[in-house]
């Protein structure tokens, strides 16, 4: 995810050897795998030991640091382990308080109120409605969390304010590349059973006759019948 990739870059910039272990077959899970393939190449070009389709099964103290055991039976000796493996929101406090939970987090209305009108919830722990798909989901990003906090504060102090769903727009720098996306990915469209078509284009970042143009990979997902844009990745 974002934190794992950003820490990998920061440590490599300081000349520290990095092994990046990812349980899935790709990094930057929200995007589609073919759009992430250049990131895998970039990580390896920058000297990162990338271990996809693997997972950490244990961490043990060693005489000169730590030994990390991997699911495939391998081990990695290291001096520091960073766990950036958030999978689901921590909702035990809400559950203990008797608040309603959805499949993806704490259930809230458009005013960020929980099932108890005296209690508000915002940020990574709440379930949101996707702006494009209309489905309930969890999208742990700083921008929506910040906006939700302001909306909750407005309502607490008597100013009617509503949250207008989450589109999931995000971007992450990975060494010499940047990957960004908005809306629904192809794998999410498949999971939701939505009809779509897709197109790939590979333009330059600006007019080719001006120096410094770099190639871009763009993927656009859309509804063929209406032309509605469903998602984009770059």
**pLDDT tens for each residue of 135-182:** 999 999 999 999 999 999 999 999 999 999 999 999 999 999 999 999
Tokens 């990338």 found at = 50
DSSP 125: G
Residue 66 to residue 64: CA distance in whole angstroms: 7
Each residue's pLDDT tens digit, 10-56: 999 999 999 999 999 999 999 999 999 999 999 999 999 999 999 99
Each residue's pLDDT tens digit, 203-231: 999 998 999 999 999 999 999 999 999 99
Tokens 């509804």 found at = 223
- The answer to whether 163 and 155 are in contact (CB under 8 A) is no
- The answer to whether 8 and 49 are in contact (CB under 8 A) is no
What's residue 87's pLDDT? 72
CA atoms within 13 A on the CB side of 209: 0
pTM of the shown model: 0.86
Residue 166 to residue 112: CA distance in whole angstroms: 13
What's residue 208's pLDDT? 85
Query: Is residue 78 exposed (0-12), middle (13-18) or buried (19+ Cβ within 10 Å)?
Result: middle
Our measurement of the distance from residue 45's CA atom to the centroid of its chain's CA atoms, rounded to an integer in Å, reads: 23
Our measurement of the distance from residue 137's CA atom to the centroid of its chain's CA atoms, rounded to an integer in Å, reads: 12
Residue 86 predicted with pLDDT over 80? no
């Amino acid at each position: 995810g974002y934190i794992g990739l950003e820490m990998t870059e920061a440590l490599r910039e300081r000349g520290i050897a990095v092994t990046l272990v990812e349980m899935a077959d790709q990094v930057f899970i929200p995007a589609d795998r073919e759009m992430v393939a250049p990131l895998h190449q970039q990580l390896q070009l920058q000297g990162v030991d990338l271990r996809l389709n693997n997972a950490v099964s244990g961490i043990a103290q060693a005489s000169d640091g730590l030994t990390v055991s991997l699911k495939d039976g391998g081990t990695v000796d290291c001096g520091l382990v960073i766990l950036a493996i958030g999978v689901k929101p921590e909702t035990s406090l809400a559950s203990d308080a008797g608040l309603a939970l959805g499949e993806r987090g704490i259930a809230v209305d458009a005013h960020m109120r929980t099932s108890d009108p005296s209690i508000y919830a915002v940020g990574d722990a709440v379930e949101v409605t996707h702006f494009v798909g209309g489905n309930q989901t969890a999208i742990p990003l700083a921008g929506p969390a910040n906006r939700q906090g302001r909306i909750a504060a407005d309502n607490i102090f008597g100013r009617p304010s509503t949250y207008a769903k989450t589109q999931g727009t995000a971007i992450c720098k990975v060494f010499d590349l940047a990957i960004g996306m908005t809306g629904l990915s192809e794998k999410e469209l498949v999971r939701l059973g939505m009809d779509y078509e897709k197109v790939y284009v590979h333009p330059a970042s600006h007019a080719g006759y001006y120096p410094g143009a770099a190639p871009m990979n763009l993927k656009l997902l859309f509804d063929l019948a209406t032309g509605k844009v469903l998602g984009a990745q770059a």
